[in-house]
A and B are shown apart, each in its own frame.
Chain A
Amino acid sequence: MTLPAVKVENLSYRYPSSQAPALKGVNLEIGRGETVLIAGRSGCGKTTLARCLNGLIPHFHGGEISGKILVNGANPLTLPVWKTASSVGMIFQNPESQIFTLVVEDEVAFGPENLALPRTEISKRVDWAIAAVGLSRLKKKHVFELSDGQKQRLAVASALSCLPDILIFDEATSNLDKKAREDFLVLLTELKRRWGKTIILIDHRVSGLENVVDRVVLMENGSIAASGGRSILSDDRIVRKFGLRGCVFEGNPVFSPPKSAGEEIIEARSASFGYAGGFALNNVNFSIYRGESVAITGGNGSGKTTLLKLIAGLLKPGAGSIRLLERDTRKGRWNELSRVASVVLQNPDRQIFMNSVYEEVAFSRRIADPGKPSEEMVEKILFRMGISEIKNRHPHSLSQGEKQRVTVASAIAKRPDVLLLDEPTSGMDGYHLGLLIESLAKLKKDGLTIIIASHDAELLFKLCGRFFVIENGKVYETGGSLSNHMKFFCSQ
């Protein structure tokens, strides 16, 4: 009888810094050559389980572990990580945090070099792995010149060069746009069909996976709550219960014409901006009026964040102008511009620094209007954003979804005329997305002008009435039809 690729029996685990267990009595078996999706809400234990399979838990993270694991017939709990790593490749969420070298072929050679293989063998494996992920023509390329999709392929090649039988993808597509994600899913199918790899996908974004996976395992509170064939990804009840995203959402945007009779909040006239590396936004023209909700979308690296920074005045246009409530952003002072436009950046960890959620929001209020009493307003904002119950907690102890709502609360505490959000749902599960949309919808109803840079269809279609698309350095308004631009959208 063939040994299963993975066999887990009654696995329980607790992180060293935590009282509560992250995994509770997990039992799982994955056959050779199978593609299995392990899904569930953020914090349900899916990444922890993956790290147990490749030995990072307990060898790297420490903690208390009990139960049995067999991966390829070996026990990762007793084997050193490097031995397990040669049979279990792991691809992490952020490709840049996995890159150690500057040239593509050097990066792919990193694993085999660590395994002390002869130079000829390393060279052979490098060529094979690079070809397997379709990067052969980029072999000598500088790694930081690759697109996000190519970087993630490079991460796969780097894992493949150690010749693992099992590949674990931990939210490996969360930063990719629709096109890059689709290409990536084709690559997964190839890895399974052509090379017979056992593939374990850890994700809560299930869009497109219904054609890739053989089986779905659903986790909740550190345990396996359900499992079944790929068809369960189309079950609306399951999708909602486990905070999954992707297959069920089939919404369409409701377009609104520009409120040109209203007050003009942002005016871009022939604005251009270029980076030293060659990327540029050219001749940008648009007007945004008070109370509008505007989407800015486009592929990875198209310039969405750059455009938001130009609107906020953080970057200055090289030619033309952007006016924010009549203030030219090239001449405006930080404190003036930031009172008009509040920006929520993608990663909340970079923006929060006070000791409690309440203080974080109150601090923003004080910066905007020093000396004015703020208690009542802060309480109101906390209630509006649905974070009153966690107001005394340290912001860094919260989940990513909760942190994102704290940063939105801080941003609106300044009572800005316009709220700018940069990829606010990156890596967010369906449950937290629902809460964020609910909060933003209330702000929209209050008449706040909202601009969102994202390619998350669900978020944009539910909130926005006007759609700007960035392609090849140009900004277009889609004007009532998105059919030509659907390639940019995905349900994250």
Chain B
Amino acid sequence: MSSPRGLSGLFRSRESSPVRFLSVETKMFHLASVIILSFVVRSAGCLFLLFLSTFAYSFFARSLRAHFFIVKRMIFFAAVSVALLAVVIREPAYLAGTAVRILARVFIMSSAGILFAATTSPTELIRALDTLRAPKTLIFPITVAVRFIPAIVRETGEIADSLKLKGISVGFFDFLRHPGIYYRAIFMPLVIRSISISDELAAAAEARCFGSPLKRTFLRRNKVSAGDFIFVSAMTLFLIGLIILDGKIRGVF
């Protein structure tokens, strides 16, 4: 059986980091606000500040390794999308602006997403969603998706390894030279494995009564601490400041 070391590394980040003091509700607030703001904010400077904030959070969460692993790949596919856009958009200045925004948003969203997945267990998430009175039809797919992320990270790494072992270099310029081969060589196995893994996870969850319509109870409850209030307050101030700054740069305020 292949080694689970990468997967455990991804999860272990929370064990020894200050982020373990934050509740899942706080982490959800961070995730949602960063994603929404990455669309609201339009100036490159403010997008950069937003990126720095997720980077700092990632540093404190001690999940930079997992962070870079995913973000590198997300940026790679964002860059490919920009390259495809270049075929359609002929105006260089507009293309450059669009490309910067696409790259920055992909970076910010994937950073925030991987941070959440790397520092939150599915059980904690279920507890938080239950506290927020989310419907079961929403809780099930979200929980499986969060559990799915580390599994798919590992699969992507294994598929990239198998390509290297076939003698196919996995790099940005290699992709530009043979896009068809790379899309097929990476996406075909990834899609097949994704279907198989998500199917296994969902079946395993069903086999442990996850589909029960009863109001779920918990062995433990998520706790909200003073650290949560401090983090949420600081984050709120930062986000408001960012919106104002973005408005000033764009001449809205």
The interface residues of chain A lying within 8 Å CB-to-CB of B208 are 85, 98, 100, 110-111, 114, 158-159, 162
The interface residues of chain B lying within 8 Å CB-to-CB of A414 are 166-167
Q: Which residue of A lies closest to B127 (CB)?
A: A113
Q: Cβ of A106 < 8 Å from any Cβ of B?
A: yes
Number of chain B residues close to chain A: CB under 8 A = 57
Contact of B7 among A89, A144, A349 (CB under 8 A): A144
Contact of B164 among A56, A277, A314 (CB under 8 A): A314
Q: Cβ of B197 < 8 Å from any Cβ of A?
A: yes
Q: Which residue of A lies closest to B146 (CB)?
A: A100
Q: Are A82 and B211 in contact (CB under 8 A)?
A: yes
Q: Which residue of B lies closest to A177 (CB)?
A: B1
Stretch at the interface among B78-86, B105-113, B155-163: B155-163
The interface residues of chain B lying within 8 Å CB-to-CB of A439 are none
Q: Which residue of B lies closest to A51 (CB)?
A: B203
Q: Cβ of A92 < 8 Å from any Cβ of B?
A: yes
A275 to B166, CA, bound (A): 24
Which of A148, A349, A426 gathers most chain B CB within 10 Å?
A349
Q: Cβ of B122 < 8 Å from any Cβ of A?
A: yes
Q: Are B210 and A82 in contact (CB under 8 A)?
A: yes
A157 to B132, CA, bound (A): 30
Q: Are A314 and B165 in contact (CB under 8 A)?
A: yes
Contact of B207 among A85, A94, A422 (CB under 8 A): A85
Q: Cβ of A301 < 8 Å from any Cβ of B?
A: yes
Q: Cβ of A90 < 8 Å from any Cβ of B?
A: yes
Name the distance in Å between A186's Cβ and chain B's nearest Cβ: 21
Stretch at the interface among A2-10, A234-242, A337-345: A337-345
Q: Cβ of A286 < 8 Å from any Cβ of B?
A: no
The interface residues of chain B lying within 8 Å CB-to-CB of A119 are 217-219
User: Of residues 181 to 210 in B, which have CB atoms within 8 Å of A's CB atoms?
Assistant: 184-185, 188-189, 192-193, 196-197, 200-210
Q: 1/0 per position for B9-28, CB-CB distance to A under 8 A?
A: 10110010000000000000
Q: Cβ of B43 < 8 Å from any Cβ of A?
A: no
Name the distance in Å between B213's Cβ and chain A's nearest Cβ: 8
Contact of A100 among B7, B161, B188, B205 (CB under 8 A): B205
User: Of residues 73 to 123 in A, which have CB atoms within 8 Å of B's CB atoms?
Assistant: 80-82, 85-86, 89-90, 92, 94, 96-98, 100-103, 105-106, 109-119, 122-123
User: Of residues 166 to 191 in A, which have CB atoms within 8 Å of B's CB atoms?
Assistant: 175
Q: 1/0 per position for A270-305, CB-CB distance to B under 8 A?
A: 000001110100000000000000000000110001
Q: Cβ of B53 < 8 Å from any Cβ of A?
A: no
Q: Quick one: given A102-B121, A126-B219, A353-B184, are A301 and B3 in contact (CB under 8 Å)?
A: yes
Q: Cβ of B212 < 8 Å from any Cβ of A?
A: yes
Which of A277, A300, A305 gathers most chain B CB within 10 Å?
A277
A419 to B4, CA, bound (A): 24
Q: Are A114 and B219 in contact (CB under 8 A)?
A: no
Name the distance in Å between A143's Cβ and chain B's nearest Cβ: 9
9 closest Cβ contacts across the A-B interface? Answer: A338-B167, A144-B8, A116-B214, A353-B188, A114-B209, A97-B200, A109-B219, A82-B212, A82-B209
26 A-B residue pairings within 8 Å (CB atoms):
A80-B211, A85-B206, A98-B208, A109-B219, A112-B219, A113-B218, A113-B219, A114-B208, A116-B214, A118-B217, A119-B219, A142-B11, A144-B7, A162-B209, A175-B1, A306-B3, A334-B164, A334-B168, A334-B169, A343-B165, A349-B189, A350-B155, A350-B189, A352-B188, A368-B167, A423-B1
